[in-house]
Amino acid sequence: MAVRTEPFVLNMGPVHPSTHGVFRMRVTLDGEVVVDIEPVFGYLHRGIEKLAEQRTYAGIIPLTDRLDYISSMNNNFAYCLAVEKLAGIKVPERAEYIRVIISELQRIAALLIAVGAFLNDCGAFFTPFLYMFRERERIVDLFEMVSGQRLTYNYLRAGGVSQDLPEEFLPALRKFMDMMPRFMDEYDRLLQQNEILIARAKGVGILPAEQAINCSISGPVLRASGVKWDIRKDDPYSIYDRFDFDVPTQPAGDCYDRYRQRVEEMRQSLRIIEQAMKQIPSGPVRAEVPHLIHPPVGEAYGRIECPKGELGFYLVSDNSIAPYRCHIRPPSLINLTALRDMVRGWKVADLIIIFGSIDITVGEIDR
Amino acid sequence: MMIVDFIATGQGHFQAIPPDWPGGFWWHWLFFTVVVIGFVLTMVMGVIYIERRGMGRMQSRLGPNRTGPFGLLQPVADAVKVLLKENIVPAAADKLVHWLAPVVAFAPALMIFAVIPFSNGALLADLNIGILYIVAISSVSTVGVFMAGWGSSNKYSLLGAMRNVAAVVSYEIPLVLAIVGVVLIAGSLSMNQIVVAQNIPFILLQPLGFLLFFAAGCAEINRSPFDLMEADSEIVAGFHTEYSGMKFAMFYLVEYAEAVAISAIICTLFLGGWKGPLLPPWLWFIIKVMLVFFAMVWTRTTLPRIRIDQLMAFAWKFLFPMAIINLFITALQVLAGWPTQLMWAMIIVNFAVTAFMVLIWSRFFFRLGWGRIEV
């Protein structure tokens, strides 16, 4: 006798332990199997794009901190790139190096959180998460040294950075750089061959390369599907063309590959920082830029490879002190477009880890 | 019949009432009821402390350290906190079922301790079917859990309760089969007789049985990595999502009382119960229970959670065949008289069998990641 079942709708979120903020999914379930999902967002909408139209170009930088709040240095970077393109500002050499070091450190910090949160979603009761936070804490200490803040740094400026590195920064960074590879090896030893992690994540939530491209997915999620696309390599901004680093990719595009991809990217970031530390010149850290920038009428798009993918700022200027329009391309939002196809047919537990492996920040989705 | 005997005569099925206590049965009954309740409540506090501090150390943080010396009063603070919380009942809940569920879940967890010996003969009721009684009683908790899941009229709760029922039904079988090996060697179902029979701890004679019982026991009581009935990252808190205040505290108590119960059963069946040199028996018993519980905390901090279909596959494709093979080998050994005559040979053979079986089976016959079964 066949048992008749009927699907039911479960509201996951906006307050739920694994929705990484206030994200909501209307999940249609048939028992434990996900039939359909409908992402609902907007709970953290602060109107950052609109607010930006009433602020000076320098005044927008603190707003960008609050987009993807776990990688605010990168947000500053993308925005400053756009403003520099718009106003034709030349950034001094030392500032470029500082920016690269800072943004790669931020990438490591953000990827640590991504990996830790992913493992938390897998049900490893906070242990990996706290281990990763231990390392992130060291990076945040470094950031506190340069900017005085620990979460929303507001450090980069159009035409450079707000202040030079303090004297003790480079020795402290050296210490961190000597430590970090050992910690990375430790994580790999603890997690890479874990039978349960492999059973949970391998082959789950496969995102084929074609679909990833069609959905304009970017960042580690795209590269885990085997597409070699990294803006740092393919459309180098700042001084990324001077460094020698690889763009790792993974073959399968499942959750396990996305986790591995993030670990590999951290290693590459360490390589970049290592080289930048050797080459960093002395000199000014900020170009002569007026307090109120009046860019010529026009538009510019600045994009960087942020830890989650391509983060872009599109600015339109009407020669006033505030942008006429500021549009943000948040990687979290666009990476989510593939979520529905990835989770259909999997179980509730898989839904959580697939969602976790995409690595979103709601502050960036809702803006 | 037994219950009638129990009430009418107060005699019969009890073999070992300590002779130096005046008043006979009823004093014994009163004394051990108080002891059992006190033991369970204090042990729960102790294990909560061990879990929170131990997990803190393993996760490179301090753990609670503000309440009393070394944070020793943390469980008390937790208890006071939940007592002061408002009791919220969802509007759509089935009020009676919702109210009754924590009680139904808690009673069996307490009743298990009636047959656990704290010292030679020091137990509430030395039933000659002690272990069978435990197996029967421990399943009743599931009814409470399902009542909670159903009565809350919350979808998360229902999912958690469904998962719990599925898991308990599957894991009872390897659990019982692992016990049968011990019973064969001890030749008795009475918990006290099983301890008395352990000249050496049965973990040496039944290493595979111990591992199976530990894994299945963890699954019975929702300990990680089998904690998907209250998987916080998936279904919020499972069956007790809608509970608050004292009723939540009851479920919290049940969770840890069951953990203590499983630890106590493991300790009685496999680790020689109250037996041990120098220290008094009850202290040995508590030390062993704490050690077993610590192993559970250790697995909790180390392993990610498995998925529901993997949980089922693990029970039916890994634990179940292993338990059958273990039972078969043990039965042959008992038939040949090994437990009394060739004890050393039995230890060596059984450890070899355990290592061989676990390695072979986990390499060639069952991997967690293999295949998916529909649940």
- The angle at the Cα of A151, spanning A146 to A157, to the nearest 5 degrees, equals 50
Specify the pLDDT at position A314: 92
How far from each other are the two terminal CA atoms of chain A, in whole angstroms? 52
Per-residue confidence band for B4, with pLDDT thresholds at 50, 70 and 90 = very low
Q: Which site among B60, B154, B296, B305 would you substitute to test the A interface, given the most A Cβ atoms closer than 10 Å to its Cβ? A: B305
Per-residue confidence band for B14, with pLDDT thresholds at 50, 70 and 90 = very low
Q: Which residue's entry shows tokens 């998360």?
A: B156
Number of cross-chain residue pairs from A and B with Cβ atoms under 8 Å apart: 93
Give how far A8 is from chain B: nearest CA, Å: 9
Q: What is the mean pLDDT of residues B114-120?
A: 82
For chain B, helix (H) and strand (E) counts, in that order, are 17, 0
Residues of A in contact with B156 (CB under 8 A): 10
Specify the pLDDT at position B1: 40
- The H or E element containing residue A131 is helix A127-147
Residue A326 Cα distances to A98, A155, A163, A361, B259, angstroms = 26, 20, 26, 20, 57
Residue A211 Cα distances to A225, A226, B320, angstroms = 9, 12, 42
Let me know: does B238 contact B231? Beta carbons within 8 Å.
yes
Q: A94 is written with which tokens?
A: 């030392």
| A196: nearest CB among B58, B301, B306 | B306
| A196: nearest CB among B156, B308, B368 | B368
Per-residue confidence band for B22, with pLDDT thresholds at 50, 70 and 90 = low
Nearest-angstrom CA–CA distance, A34 and A346 = 6
Say whether A127 and B231 touch across the interface (CB within 8 A): no
Nearest-angstrom CA–CA distance, A101 and A302 = 19
Residues of A in contact with B59 (CB under 8 A): 126-127, 130-131
- Reported as a single tens digit per residue, the pLDDT across B147-175 is 888 888 888 888 888 888 888 888 888 88
Q: How many CB atoms lie within 10 A of CB B191?
A: 28
Q: How do the pLDDT tens digits run along chain A, 367 residues long?
A: 677 778 888 888 788 877 777 888 888 888 788 888 888 888 888 888 888 888 888 888 888 888 888 888 899 999 999 998 888 888 888 898 999 999 999 999 999 988 888 888 887 778 888 888 888 898 999 999 898 888 888 888 888 888 888 888 889 999 898 988 888 888 888 888 888 888 888 888 888 888 889 988 988 999 999 888 888 888 888 888 888 888 888 888 888 889 889 988 998 999 999 998 888 888 888 888 888 888 888 899 988 988 888 899 999 988 888 889 889 998 988 988 888 888 888 888 888 888 888 888 888 888 8
B257 closest CA partner among B225, B210, B289, B302: B289
Hey, is the C-beta of B165 within 8 angstroms of any chain A C-beta? no
Q: B273 is written with which tokens?
A: 């119960």
Q: B79 is written with which tokens?
A: 């208890």
Specify the pLDDT at position B374: 46
Residues of B in contact with A16 (CB under 8 A): 236
Nearest-angstrom CA–CA distance, A323 and A284 = 27
Hey, is the C-beta of B343 within 8 angstroms of any chain A C-beta? no
Let me know: does B173 contact B320? Beta carbons within 8 Å.
yes
Q: Is the pLDDT of residue B371 over 60?
A: no
Nearest-angstrom CA–CA distance, A265 and A294 = 38
Window 9-38 of A: residues touching B by CB (8 A cutoff) are 10, 16-18, 31-32
Q: B41 is written with which tokens?
A: 């409540």
N residues, chain A:
367
Let me know: does B147 contact B97? Beta carbons within 8 Å.
yes
Nearest-angstrom CA–CA distance, B273 and B123 = 12
Q: Tell me the backbone φ, ψ of residue B374, rounded to 5 degrees.
A: -80, 135
Nearest-angstrom CA–CA distance, A269 and A243 = 11
- Sequence-ordered alpha helix ranges (H) in B237-360: 245-270, 281-302, 308-313, 320-335, 338-341, 343-360
| B233: nearest CB among A121, A199, A202 | A121
Specify the pLDDT at position A252: 85
Specify the pLDDT at position B5: 43
- The H or E element containing residue A312 is strand A309-317
Q: Is the pLDDT of residue B188 over 80?
A: yes
Say whether B59 and A131 touch across the interface (CB within 8 A): yes
Residue B8 Cα distances to A212, B1, B3, B258, angstroms = 75, 10, 8, 31
Specify the pLDDT at position B9: 43
- Please tell me what DSSP assigns to residue B240: G
Residue A303 Cα distances to A237, A314, A327, B316, B322, angstroms = 8, 9, 12, 53, 57
Nearest-angstrom CA–CA distance, B166 and B308 = 9
Per-residue confidence band for B10, with pLDDT thresholds at 50, 70 and 90 = very low
Q: What is the mean pLDDT of residues B288-298?
A: 89
Burial group, residue A190, by CB count within 10 angstroms (0-12, 13-18, 19+): middle
Contacts of A4 (CB under 8 A, 6+ apart): none
Highest mean pLDDT among A72-86, B9-23, B85-99: A72-86
Q: What amino acid is encoded at B52 in this protein? A: R
Q: A95 is written with which tokens?
A: 């500032």
DSSP letters of B4-62? Answer: HHHHHTS-SS-----TTSTTTHHHHHHHHHHHHHHHHHHHHHHHHHHHHHHHHHHTTS-
Query: B345 vs A256, which has greater pLDDT?
Result: A256
Q: Is the pLDDT of residue B21 over 60?
A: no
Q: Which residue's entry shows tokens 């803190």?
A: B56
- Beta strands across the sheet bearing A325-329: A298-306, A309-317, A325-329
How far from each other are the two terminal CA atoms of chain B, in whole angstroms? 40
Residues of B in contact with A125 (CB under 8 A): 55, 224, 300-301
- The angle at the Cα of B337, spanning B336 to B343, to the nearest 5 degrees, equals 115
Query: A21 vs B40, which has greater pLDDT?
Result: B40
Say whether B225 and A199 touch across the interface (CB within 8 A): no
Nearest-angstrom CA–CA distance, A18 and A15 = 9
Which residue is closest to A130 within chain B, CA to CA?
B59
Burial group, residue A73, by CB count within 10 angstroms (0-12, 13-18, 19+): buried
Hey, is the C-beta of A143 within 8 angstroms of any chain B C-beta? no
Residues of B in contact with A10 (CB under 8 A): 155-156, 159
ipTM: 0.80
Nearest-angstrom CA–CA distance, B278 and B317 = 43
- Beta strands across the sheet bearing A33-40: A8-12, A24-30, A33-40
Q: A318 is written with which tokens?
A: 């009407």
Let me know: does A88 contact A100? Beta carbons within 8 Å.
no
Say whether A197 and B304 touch across the interface (CB within 8 A): yes
Helix axes B281-302, B25-58, angle to 10 degrees: 40
Hey, is the C-beta of A122 within 8 angstroms of any chain B C-beta? yes
Q: Tell me the backbone φ, ψ of residue B288, rounded to 5 degrees.
A: -65, -40
For residues A213, A215, A220, A221, the Cα torsion angle rounded to the nearest 10 degrees is: -110
Buried b (16+ CB within 10 A) or exposed e, A273-303: bbbbeeebeeeebbeebeeebebeeebbebb
Q: Is the pLDDT of residue B366 over 80?
A: no
Structural domain boundaries in chain B: 2-365
Hey, is the C-beta of B375 within 8 angstroms of any chain A C-beta? yes
- Please tell me what DSSP assigns to residue B182: H
Hey, is the C-beta of A254 within 8 angstroms of any chain B C-beta? no
Say whether A350 and B307 touch across the interface (CB within 8 A): yes
Q: Is the peptide bond before B201 cis (omega within 30 degrees of 0)?
A: no
Q: Is the pLDDT of residue B84 over 80?
A: yes
Q: What is the mean pLDDT of residues B229-257?
A: 81
Q: B272 is written with which tokens?
A: 């020689």
Mean pLDDT of chain B: 81
Say whether B305 and A349 touch across the interface (CB within 8 A): yes
Nearest-angstrom CA–CA distance, A359 and A71 = 12
Query: B282 vs B295, which has greater pLDDT?
Result: B295
Beta bridge partners of A33: A30, A347
Hey, is the C-beta of B312 within 8 angstroms of any chain A C-beta? no
For residues B249, B255, B256, B260, the Cα torsion angle rounded to the nearest 10 degrees is: 150
Nearest-angstrom CA–CA distance, A124 and B353 = 31
Residues of B in contact with A134 (CB under 8 A): 60
Q: Is the pLDDT of residue B110 over 60?
A: yes
